[in-house]
Amino acid sequence: MTYDDLEISTAEGRPLFLYRFAEGPTTWRFVSRSSDWVVPGGTLADEPGDTAWAASALAHGNVVQSGDPRRVDLSLTFPLSDPFARRWLGPRGSSVTTLTIFRGHEQVPGELVAHWKGRIVSAWVEGVRIVLRAESLFTAMRRQGVRARYQRLCRHVLYAGGCRLDIESFLVPATATARSGQQITVPEAAAQPDGWYRGGVLRHAGVPGFITGHVGATLTLSGRMPALEAEIDDPGLTASIQIAPGCDLRRDTCANRFDNLLNFGGFPDIPGRNPFGGTSII
């Protein structure tokens, strides 16, 4: 039988869903079955060889078609103990993870159809489940593009886009020795004046965390980093990290700390009052 035959059958279909998550060069594959599944090579145009899909208790909500992009988001649920889903509860940085859902039937493993495509945008804990929210590919296509703002502070994101700084050139090897909530003790941070790393990045095992505060050897993170905390708490491990300085988006900081004035995206000489109407334009 073919996929189309099974779709219209009243009793013989044994549908399954396959979930492919991709983030840069890394791909995760799951299938909604109690045992693993193998998709023959050539079934999917971008995967010429046989691929193994791991069994998972993953499920998704109803796929909705609507002219309103805000109403076509899709929720996916994982068990609270799922290691893949738990990685979403920590800081994610700017990495984009795409999701493609395929639908098929067990009797015809060589026939799959693309059921939904989008990207993961947020995650939270709900009882004994972890819920991921994904937005449709068409939502991003319909979203209005970001315009440059006429403002005194730099409009660029540090180490990205128009900033053009390579974070690898500013990362400093360091060690995290203690923690209290979201405050991490990093002796190497004390080598710089207070505030040097505020707005910067703490990277652990390739995962970035945003630094919101820096006083002496103490760095405050915007969110928890479970893997880093586990290493700090384990007396047999050394929590090796990297830290990169932050920026307050001011022209002097751009020039003196990063020597990057050519890419400064602000307009610090904007007058405080509108010369035509007298209103504030700060």
Q: What is the CATH number of the domain that holds 240?
A: 2.40.30
Instruction: State yes or no: pLDDT of 154 exceeds 60.
Output: yes
In the prediction, which pLDDT does 25 show? 87
Is residue 52 in a domain? yes
Helix (H) or strand (E) run with residue 227 in it: helix 226-233
In the prediction, which pLDDT does 194 show? 96
Same domain, yes or no: 20 and 137: yes
pLDDT tens digits for 53-90?
Answer: 999 999 998 877 666 555 678 899 999 989 899 888 87
Same domain, yes or no: 23 and 121: yes
Same domain, yes or no: 59 and 115: yes
Q: Give the mean model confidence (pLDDT) for residues 161-182.
A: 93
Is residue 252 in a domain? no
Is residue 111 in a domain? yes
Is residue 187 in a domain? yes
Lowest mean pLDDT among 70-74, 176-180, 201-205: 70-74
Task: Print the domain residue range for 227.
Answer: 171-244
CATH number, domain with residue 107: 2.30.110
Strand 15-23 and strand 98-105: the pairing is antiparallel
> How many structural domains compose the chain?
2
Is residue 156 in a domain? no
Same domain, yes or no: 130 and 179: no
Instruction: State yes or no: pLDDT of 216 exceeds 90.
Output: yes
Band (163; pLDDT cuts 50, 70, 90):
very high
Encoding tokens for residue 96?
Answer: 């984009």
Same domain, yes or no: 215 and 132: no
Q: Are 247 and 258 in contact (CB under 8 A)?
A: yes
Same domain, yes or no: 92 and 212: no
Q: Are 18 and 38 in contact (CB under 8 A)?
A: no
Q: Give the mean model confidence (pLDDT) for residues 239-249.
A: 95
Q: Give 38's contacts (C-beta < 8 A, 6+ positions apart).
A: 50, 51, 52, 53, 109
d(CA 253, CA 154): 10
Instruction: State yes or no: pLDDT of 4 exceeds 60.
Output: yes
Contacts of 203-206 spanning 24+ positions with Cβ under 8 A: 203/171, 203/241, 203/242, 203/243, 203/244, 204/176, 204/228, 204/231, 204/239, 204/240, 204/241, 204/242
Strand 218-221 and strand 183-185: the pairing is antiparallel
Same domain, yes or no: 9 and 73: yes
Is residue 197 in a domain? yes
Same domain, yes or no: 138 and 176: no
In the prediction, which pLDDT does 213 show? 95
Q: Give the mean model confidence (pLDDT) for residues 141-155.
A: 72
Same domain, yes or no: 93 and 194: no
Same domain, yes or no: 125 and 227: no
Q: Give 59's contacts (C-beta < 8 A, 6+ positions apart).
A: 32, 76, 77
Is residue 282 in a domain? no
Is residue 266 in a domain? no
Same domain, yes or no: 132 and 185: no
Same domain, yes or no: 134 and 177: no
Percent of the chain clearing pLDDT 70 (strictly above): 88
